[in-house]
Each structure stands twice: as structure tokens, then as C-alpha cells.
Amino acid sequence: MSAAVQRIQASSLPELATASWCNALLIGNEVVMSGMTGHPATRTAALAGAPLGIYEQTLLVLNKARALVEAAGGHIGNIYRLTVYLTAIADKDEVGRARHDFFHGFAHFPTSTLVEVSALVFPELVVEIEASARLDIDLRAAQES
């Protein structure tokens, strides 16, 4: 027997009609998300001459993940795994600060992998994050076993 699969869409994150991917899928209790970036807000800021820094881009991306989890019927405490792609590993401390601020007060922070990549899809992007969530857990008040 296979798990039910549902496409998740958040009104704040429109998908392109020509896209060959989904932003998120709900598979059983698990929300699996594509890599998220700060686009198009980063493009708009860059064109206006005020590019978003790594901290701001990271918070923007984490809030996209939150929106998708909430669209699946969950909440921020369901996010348990992050894979973070940076164009400059020297930015790791600012990413860590953004993660700390975003998940502030949690009993446990999500697991995380952080890697440096040579580039992202647009030149103004400096961070991309893949997130996973389970609707049957809550890291805000996780219990030790």
C-alpha cells in the first residue's frame, strides 16, 4: 500500500505554470519541499540598488518554508530538517544567526546540513534551503525519550 500524495500550494508562493516541479508535496505525514530561495524579492531589491544580505535572505527563505508547512495544515514546529546551500561558506555565522532567530525558543532545533556551492540560479541569490517537515512532530516542545 502506498502513501497518499498531495501537492501543497501556498497563496504567497505562486508556482509557474511552466514549472516541472512542485514547491511541496505532502506524503503521508511528511511535507517535502523543493529548494527555496529569496527570489523574486532578492531580484527586486538588487534592481533597486539595495540587495538583501545573507541574514535577510535566509529569513525570507525560512518564511517560505513556514508558509508551505502551514498550507499543509502544520506549523513551524513541524520543520525538522534543513539543507542549506551557500555561495560563500564565510556567511555560515549569519545563516546560523537567522536560523537561531527563526527557531527561537524551540526545545530542539531542526537538523541541518550546510554546504557551499559555486552559484545559484540568479546572481543575487546567496542562499537556498530545502526543508522537510512532519505533521506528527513538534520541535517547539519536543519530548526526550
**Distance of alpha carbon 133 from alpha carbon 62, whole angstroms:** 12
Q: pLDDT tens, 20-43?
A: 889 999 999 999 999 999 998 888
Q: What is the structure's pLDDT at 42?
A: 86
Q: For 135, what's the count of Cα atoms within 13 Å in the CB-facing half-sphere?
A: 15
Q: Output the domain CATH number for residue 111.
A: 3.30.1330.40
What range defines the domain where residue 33 resides?
5-141
Q: With a cut of 90, say whether residue 13 has pLDDT above it.
A: no
The count of domains in the chain is 1
Q: How confident is the model at residue 142 (pLDDT cuts 50, 70, 90)?
A: low
Query: Average model confidence (pLDDT) for the chain?
Result: 93
Q: With a cut of 80, say whether residue 144 has pLDDT above it.
A: no
Provide mean pLDDT across the span 60-74.
Answer: 97
**Distance of alpha carbon 98 from alpha carbon 56, whole angstroms:** 8
> DSSP assignment of 50-80, as one string?
----HHHHHHHHHHHHHHHHHHTT--GGGEE
**Distance of alpha carbon 16 from alpha carbon 102, whole angstroms:** 28
Contact 128, 74 (CB under 8 A): no
**Distance of alpha carbon 23 from alpha carbon 65, whole angstroms:** 9
Q: With a cut of 80, say whether residue 3 has pLDDT above it.
A: no
Cis before 123? omega within 30: no
Q: What is the structure's pLDDT at 132?
A: 97
* Percentage, residues of the chain above pLDDT 70: 97
Q: How confident is the model at residue 49 (pLDDT cuts 50, 70, 90)?
A: confident
> DSSP assignment of 73-123, as one string?
T--GGGEEEEEEEES-GGGHHHHHHHHHHHTTT-SSPPEEEEEE-S--SST
Q: What is the structure's pLDDT at 31?
A: 98
